[in-house]
Amino acid sequence: MAKWLRQGPAKPLSPVRIRPTPESPSDEIGRHTGLKIPGTQVRAGSSPASGRLFILMNPPIFDSHTHIDMVISKEVPYQTIADKMRENNVKGFIQIGSDADAMLFSKQFCNQENDFHCYYTVGFHPSDAGKTDFNAGILFARENIKDKNLVAIGEVGLDYYYGKNSMKEQLEVFNKYTELALELKKPLCVHTRDAHEDTLQIISKAAKETKVLIHCFTGGEKEMRDYLELGCYISFSGIVTFNKAEELKQASKTCPLDKILIESDAPFLAPVPYRGKTNHPALILHTAKHIAQLRDLDLNDFCNQVYKNTKFFFNIEI
Ligand SMILES: [Zn+2]
């Protein structure tokens, strides 16, 4: 970890203070053995039958979409997040550089962070369409294409929920960045909200030539099938854990296992039981557990497959 990343505010705000969850490793260790093993990736306890110590690894998890710059700006010390990631065996994340400041931060961060596997993207968020110059990201991506940590273009896409007045500009930007992904031969991370038909139309050509991920998928089975038919990958966020997200839960149950990625989209969308709090990559364990449970799958099997999918999608060493 870079030295400057270790610095955080002396006192984190209370909503973002990370408390041990009942299933957290340090808790388990403390409860059963009285031992404290900081930073371990194991769960330990004593078997009542044998009285012998057993150790269980959490499965490896990778966060396919996070805004760690925004998490840190919410006064969460990075050290706290890093400790919790180690406990939950979160191996790293894709840091999203979707505006000029974020891409500079992302490049610097990923090139200095050695404790986790951190890679970044370059994109342009649809909510900025028509407000700022979208060409800066295109130039930045071209200039940094040899950086091994720059692994995808995104997030880019369409958001007609918030951006009804900028549909024309959003379409232009989305088209330009889709072309960029093809030019640079990088996968594309797509943000789409209330814009299913237009999204399908734009990615249908791109999906034949590069991998496309529907990040923070929020639709139902029908929309998901449309994307899957194009060969897209589907990324589920903490929303899937929300009580009323019935259609999304159903989609997460039926999505082919080799097409699933998971993400925090931190600092937003913290999964239950942290809903409403500042999100961070370590909490993705709760999203993984929820989907594995919905699918009646062993958590290890589910996480191992998602890990493989992530590695393949971004073409990264993790
Ligand atoms: Zn995002």
Q: Which of 13, 39, 54 is the last residue of a domain?
A: 54
Gap from CA of 30 to ligand 1 centroid (Å): 36
* Tokens matching residue 10: 């002396």
Gap from CA of 252 to ligand 1 centroid (Å): 19
Is there a single domain that holds both residue 119 and residue 222? Answer: yes
pLDDT average, residue stretch 228-257: 98
Q: What is the pLDDT of residues 97-147, one digit of tens each?
A: 999 999 999 999 999 999 999 999 999 999 999 999 999 999 999 999 999
Is there a single domain that holds both residue 145 and residue 245? Answer: yes
Gap from CA of 64 to ligand 1 centroid (Å): 10
Q: What is the pLDDT of residue 5?
A: 45
Gap from CA of 269 to ligand 1 centroid (Å): 10
Is there a single domain that holds both residue 13 and residue 63? Answer: no
Q: What is the pLDDT of residues 143-178, one digit of tens each?
A: 999 999 999 999 999 999 998 899 999 999 999 999
Gap from CA of 186 to ligand 1 centroid (Å): 18
Is there a single domain that holds both residue 151 and residue 13? Answer: no
Beta bridge partners of 158: 192
Gap from CA of 206 to ligand 1 centroid (Å): 21
Predicted confidence band at 74 (pLDDT cuts at 50, 70, 90)? confident
Is there a single domain that holds both residue 150 and residue 15? Answer: no
Please give the model's pTM, rounded to 2 decimal places: 0.84
Is there a single domain that holds both residue 123 and residue 159? Answer: yes
Is there a single domain that holds both residue 158 and residue 264? Answer: yes
Is there a single domain that holds both residue 43 and residue 75? Answer: no
The number of distinct structural domains making up the chain is 2
Gap from CA of 95 to ligand 1 centroid (Å): 9
Q: Are 182 and 210 in contact (CB under 8 A)?
A: yes
Q: What is the pLDDT of residue 39?
A: 35
Gap from CA of 155 to ligand 1 centroid (Å): 7
Q: What is the pLDDT of residue 156?
A: 98
Give the CATH number for residue 151.
Answer: 3.20.20.140
Is there a single domain that holds both residue 65 and residue 47? Answer: no
Structural domain including 42 reads 3-54
